[in-house]
Amino acid sequence: QVQVVESGGDLVQPGGSLRLSCAVSGITLADTAVGWFRRAPGKDREGITCIESSDGSESTVYADSVKGRFTISRDLAKNTVYLQMNRLKPEDTAVYLCAAEGDCRRADFGTWGQGTQVTVSS
């Protein structure tokens, strides 16, 4: 059974940083794409970044809204994916969700976590 569990959400001031973790079990990271999504109040779910192995090489993709500020990475030994969030803005406030068992092109994932709350406010 594949499971993903997010952690690390917190209250942070504008301009601050935060690192989220996505612990994956039931499948090795080398065999699945992992994506980060967010759902802000009153808005649809937004895909923000994704990481996968493509032809033996690591591949990443970012939404324009987070390019240059957020970085996705993975630790294969720990089977964990991270989302480093820098220069946070109030509009980044959302529930952040991690998903596995899919691909970055279609963003069609079979297993989702419960989400972790990130609040950016002064």
- What is the predicted pLDDT for the residue at 52? 94
| DSSP codes, 17-49 | -EEEEEEEESS-GGGS-EEEEEE-TTS--EEEE
Mean per-residue pLDDT, 95-108? 92
Q: Measured between alpha carbons, how far is 107 from 59 in angstroms, rounded to an integer?
A: 14
Q: Measured between alpha carbons, how far is 63 from 49 in angstroms, rounded to an integer?
A: 6
pLDDT by residue (tens digit) across 57-88? 899 999 999 999 999 999 999 999 999 999 99
> Angle at the Cα of 100 (from 97 to 106), degrees rounded to 5?
95
pLDDT by residue (tens digit) across 109-118? 999 999 999 9
